[in-house]
Structure 1
Amino acid sequence: MKQKRVSPTRVEVREPEKRSGGEYYPLPLPDEIELLEIDQGDTVVLELVEEEVQGKSIRYIQGHSGEAPRNQMTVRRQSGCSPELFIQCPAAFSGEHGSPPFNELGKGDRLVVEVLVDEGEFRIYGYDDYRYRFQQLSEDDGPPPELPLAIPLIASNNDGYTDLSGEKEGQEFEIVPFHGQDEVFVELGEEMGKQDLMRGNRFRGIPNLLRAAGERTGIPERSVDKIEIYWDSEDVSMNPDGEKIYEEHDTDSAKVVLPEQGSYLIIVEAGEDSGSHWLAADPNIALTDPIRDKWSAFLFEDSEELQAPKIYIPVPRTGKGHWDTY
């Protein structure tokens, strides 16, 4: 029995080629394209499809083996590249006036290629648009196996956790933004100055101060415009340099399952205010107790009563005081 779907593959646009007829984008095709019996020298027919997914209008290039008067491309091979197969797609293909995301591609721009075996076709999505496609698959039959973890995702439309762990061991977290410059921190900083919580006229935001605020008034949580999570799967540090794997808008928290590997940077925006915090799958980095025996962070809450640890993000990080978050 044939697979209904093959795992999507991330690819990068290669150096555009200028010809007399205009500019062409070399779009790589993954090795799985051979499941459609498409190989070097074969012709494929392309069509630009517009579809509403999760309330968002997205476009993708649909391709299949065959011949047609227009939009027929020859599959080529470039040895030494990974993947080797590619097609040259004309920039004008996206329409007379151009339609994103395929009208202004450049070298290194990321795309996602999905091969659908039963349908006998492949699809090329813009990197950001694919998060909506992923959510569509998740709500239908579940996401395809071995989905690249570095695809930016949107949150599920329920109270559950968005699982970003794939086949790796994962840990649930709740990401909670809070008013980082609330007056309660100034007052507590002055009262607890002997613990080095005041530096001049500014408080120093550290775990002790956050816990004290929680005991006195409760942590002043706030709604924000956007929460983003970046993941570096290879580096365990306080300054990860990774790719975005999650994004959610207009929310007061985010519930996610993160793979127990590497480190993370969480960025929050609310109007002109912003905040950030790091998180790492290593219990020995922070000068605090480890989280669930396996993770490190500075500003968190955890107990046996909580289903998942809470990671607190100060928004903004600086102002009346400064929060140490990495």
Structure 2
Amino acid sequence: MATTTKKGAARKSAVKAANKKRGALTKKSGPIARRPLPKTLITGGTGFLGTHLVEQLIEVGVEGLRVMAGSVPQRLRDRGVEAVEGSVTNPEDVRRAVEGVTEVYHLAGRVSRESNDAREMMKIHVEGTRLLCEAARSAGVKTIVMASSSGTIAVTETGEEMPDESWTPPLDIISRWPYYASKYYQEQVALENFSGRGLRLVILNPSLLLGPGDERLSSTKVILDFLARKITAVPRGGLSFVDVRDAAAAFRRAMQDGKHGERYLLGSVNWTFEQFFGRLERLTKTPGPRLSLP
């Protein structure tokens, strides 16, 4: 029994000495600093597509979200989203936005069919993207998933062709539409300024987005115009459409699996305007236009 007691006392003494040594080490080195969580930046995170993307990222448990927009609502801050209020055309705002970020969803933009907005769209889409790519490289960002438009690829004169990502951009058609033109040059400047070892740029080209939550009417104004019976005639041609929620999910997938330098068309269905208005008429019981433009 005496031997056992001596061994127990020896063990207690050894443990006490070890604890004392550990305490001395802790005092010398201080508490172990935790590495900050990698941050995910969403530019334009309060727009039509951005709102749905941020919501999905929150739902799947992505932490360290940061939204850059002109104004970020309190409801996002209350859910743990960090806000950077500013513009992608302002170098200092962009620098603040990408600090500590490892991946970027670049959705900031302006959708307009008006020729008067051409200069502003060029500034946001082209100059803003150049500033973002340069700042992102300097900050150590590894991946950018960028929103472009199906209008940089899948536009045709007759609608008989079925363009895909391998097609040469139809510049003669693209140049007629300021929005499409600004998006085409956005793609070029992004590829020029965010390429190199360890960098990945993925470009997604969604068609016309439909769905809930388009507070700015950037995509769904045509539906309200239809319901208000402001559309008096059916134009020639047609469009491709995609649900905004499906598009947001595709952006998340692209962050995981998208390949550098690749473009991905996002579309669910192709309809002529006559088919589109006919479907709206059946769903809403609102009479559609009866005249057709030549």
TM-score (norm 1): 0.28
Structure with higher helix content:
2
Structure with higher strand content:
1
